[in-house]
Structure 1
């Protein structure tokens, strides 16, 4: 089972994320937040709310109750272009 084991705010909508499988990268949540029409997710567009997160239940959880599955967060990893 995939778990987020470390997360640090980098800037803008970017968080450095480390998983229990050894994968570490900077996840950019900007397009996720700005394309989601659910009001609770749109609240994360406020950087003060976005920066207010903790690790809970093996993933990143924001103060307003939003969380994303670790698998979804890992899917934000950019693949190298060929």
Structure 2
């Protein structure tokens, strides 16, 4: 279950850096499909636990990617000097 959650977190991070929050719905639906396909040998309750852990990790990864994207763009803007309204003498 932990490997599935880690993979979901990393996928969420990548999508958080590139896409808007609308992408979470198709990702969750895709995660449900992957969970059903990969966990056919498990009990339904165990598959549900894996899906829940993966969905939470996916959303946390998306949040982490969005924060990293905002922090990176803010830092790049600061380094380019766009925050200062003072003229360079």
Q: Same fold (TM over 0.5)?
A: no
Q: Comparing both chains, which one has the higher relative contact order based on Cα–Cα distances under 8 Å and sequence gaps of 6 or more?
A: 2
* Greater radius of gyration (CA): 2
Q: Higher helix proportion, which one?
A: 2
**What is the TM-score when the length of structure 2 is the normalising length?**
0.27
TM-score (norm 1): 0.28
